């Protein structure tokens, strides 16, 4: 059966490291990183004459116009990729979505149409480590 693997966690908790290691270990995997959309998001901020701020709590503009669109686009790419390969791995926080039972139920139903199943990997890291990484990255 085909699989959509979501590697999720809050920012700076090790998603990218885990995702890349897993992608290397799997055969025939399409690797998608939501951060690849950041240049497009930066352009949206610029065109809208908004300061670049992706902070969930600090950027009303990001929350209203960009965040959900980034997730929709990366999922659309994943659904398309499942037409051509058996495993798609998405590296993205999904912190709100993963806790929303309706969202997960709807996603599973969409995947079922493609003979695919959902696999969720939550990267569990000490919050102090994540916080320090955020400070180190100035994010």
- Higher-pLDDT residue of 2 and 55 is 2
Angle, vertex CA 116, rays to CA 73 and CA 120, nearest 5? 70
d(Cα 90, Cα 88) in Å, to the nearest integer?
Answer: 7
Mean pLDDT for all residues in the chain = 91
Name the pLDDT band for 102 (thresholds 50, 70, 90).
Answer: very high
Task: Tell me which H or E stretch contains 70.
Answer: helix 67-81
Residues 6+ apart with CB under 8 A from 123: 7, 8, 9, 13, 14, 15, 18
Q: Which residues pair with 120 in a beta bridge?
A: 6
Give the per-residue pLDDT at 56. 63
pTM: 0.88
More confident residue, 59 or 114: 114
Furthest C-alpha separation in the chain: 46
């Amino acid at each position: 059966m085909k699989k959509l693997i979501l590697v999720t966690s809050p920012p700076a908790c090790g998603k990218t490291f885990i995702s890349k290691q897993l992608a290397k270990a799997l055969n025939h995997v399409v690797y998608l990183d939501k951060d690849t959309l950041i240049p497009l998001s930066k352009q949206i901020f610029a065109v809208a004459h908004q300061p670049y701020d992706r902070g969930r709590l600090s950027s009303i503009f990001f929350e209203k116009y960009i965040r959900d669109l980034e997730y929709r686009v990366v999922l659309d790419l994943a659904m398309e990729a499942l037409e051509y390969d058996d495993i798609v791995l998405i590296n993205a926080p999904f912190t709100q979505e993963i806790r929303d039972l309706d969202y997960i139920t709807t996603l599973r139903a969409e995947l079922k149409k493609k003979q695919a199943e959902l696999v969720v990997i939550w990267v569990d890291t000490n919050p102090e480590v994540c916080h320090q990484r955020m400070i180190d990255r100035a994010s």
